[in-house]
Amino acid sequence: MFIRWKTAWWIVGGASLLAVAGLLIASALISRKARGWAEDWLTQEYKSQVQLSSFRVAIPFPLVQAEGQNLVLHFEGRQDLPPLIAIKRFSFRTSIWGLLQNTRHIDSVSLDGLQITIPPREERGNQGSGKNAARKFRMIRFGEIHSQNAILKILTAKPGKEPLEFDIRQLRLSSTGNQDALAFHATLSNPKPPGEIVSSGTFGPWNADTPSLSPVSGEYTFAKADLGVFRGIAGILSSKGKYQGVLEEIGVDGTTDTPDFRVTRADHPLDLTTVFHATVAGTDGDTYLHSVEGHLGKTTLLISGKIEGTKGQKGKTITLDVHTGPARMEDLLQLAIKEQPTLAGPARLNTNFVLAPGPEEIPDRLKLDGSIEVDAAHFTNSGVQQKFDNFSERSQGKPKETKNPAEATSSDDVPSTIKANFRLDQGVLRLSRVSLEVPGAQVRIAGTFTLEQELLDLYGTLTMQAKLSQVTTGVKSFLLKFADPFFSKDGKGAVLPIKITGSVQHPKYGLDLHHRAEATKATK
């Protein structure tokens, strides 16, 4: 019996010694082969030439720990392009068992100074099929990857255009149920407008043939973005949404909210919200707005267009088609004038919108070309409105029905209809085919309005239903009978050359006998 137990103990001991010896041999093998394994895997998975200044492995049984410095991967060996991946320092930890499995498993990876530069598709040596992307993470699986101070650059194939760059302060990656993709959580610093973006989603599989076609999807929040960095506007913007696509073309659906949006020249805070669907070209950051629905006060803006860079020019040009759904004139005026709007009413706006990059304030860089119509317009100042009401009565030949402003009520307001074509360039609004109609009269004018000084310089004609002698009573009416033939149209109502000058808050109205020809020409 004793001999049997002794034999058993010898067998167990021998097996243990063999196991320990095997582990020691495995440890030595791992230590000696680890750098080669890492370089071979990186070469295969990223189709890159690998440079590694240092790589050290320690095996405090049963763990395996490694660290290295200055890892550089040149995509397809291209030395004329920035490295696909560059890492200043890295370390990882796993177990011996994890490395000896058929699919090797790395428990955790730490990266510092990671920089990823995605080449455009045109820079590739060959188009390839991308079939090898399905191998991603089958040879090696990762538990978690932590990165600090990372930069993602996506190069453009367009000459003279800057690459799209993201500063990723914190990045955490982990394997998902889909072994070809990684889950991520990232915190990014957005340079302009300054703010913090937090995003979570999935990335992969990595497309080794064409890195810019690697898929990505997720959701984001963008908080406390200060629009004041753009000269001419202000407000704190927040945004959230979802995105999906590949690195070079990402579809985004989201919302924005700016409760204190304002054009600084006018300085009227308004609550601006939008819902948008867009495509972002990851290779250059150009954005194509398929649909944007904005709400500003009681006004709905329907927008489409693009935000696109120009060769050799810093910044991007915003080109939009802007239309209104339900809209109010007073909301639109609060974006343009310093004082409270003097005109209110339902409005329809259609315009092309072009905002070029540059250091000047937005109103000086903005170009508009469009038209506007205001139905049932009325003036917010009761005194001004009453003057128009009395003007309407006189134009119809009813001077005795005019009222003292103190006796008038809002129910007595006579609505006006306003139509105009406009062009804005370098802070000057040029108006043409301006038509203002009230019962009994029609005004047709043209001219300019300067945004900075808010000055009017308009000339045109006033056509009335009544003759001059019919717009007043008493001695004035008698004397004006002598002028009727000179200002009558076909023997009927009066046609007068007029001008409107001065500030938008205190306009000056008068006859423009010296510019009658120019006024007539301007209104054709």
- Is 116 buried (19+), middle (13-18) or exposed (0-12) by CB count in 10 A? buried
Whole-model pTM?
Answer: 0.76
Query: Is residue 190 very low, low, confident or very high in pLDDT (cuts 50, 70, 90)?
Result: confident
Most confident of 119-133, 166-180, 484-498: 484-498
Q: Pick 210 or 19 by higher pLDDT.
A: 210
pLDDT score of 346 more than 80: yes
Our CA angle for 246, 247, 250, nearest 5°, is 65
Measured between alpha carbons, how far is 42 from 387 in angstroms, rounded to an integer? 81
Q: What are φ and ψ of residue 364, in 5° steps?
A: -85, -15
Question: Coil, helix or strand for 14?
Answer: helix
28-51 tens-digit pLDDT: 555 556 677 777 777 877 777 888
Please state the rounded mean pLDDT for residues 438-459.
90
Measured between alpha carbons, how far is 189 from 225 in angstroms, rounded to an integer? 10
Domain ranges of the chain: 28-244, 381-522
Q: For strand 85-95 and strand 115-118, is the pairing parallel, antiparallel, or unpaired?
A: antiparallel
* Average pLDDT of every residue of the chain: 80
Measured between alpha carbons, how far is 459 from 509 in angstroms, rounded to an integer? 10
55-84 tens-digit pLDDT: 887 777 777 788 888 888 888 777 777 888
pLDDT score of 21 more than 50: no
Q: Pick 392 or 165 by higher pLDDT.
A: 392
Long-range contacts of 502-511 (CB under 8 A, 24+ apart): 502/455, 502/456, 503/453, 503/454, 503/455, 503/456, 504/337, 504/339, 504/342, 504/449, 504/454, 504/455, 504/456, 505/339, 505/342, 505/454, 507/456
Please state the rounded mean pLDDT for residues 381-407.
80
CB atoms within 10 A of CB 52: 17
Calculate what percentage of the chain has a pLDDT beyond 90. Answer: 21
311-324 tens-digit pLDDT: 767 778 889 999 99
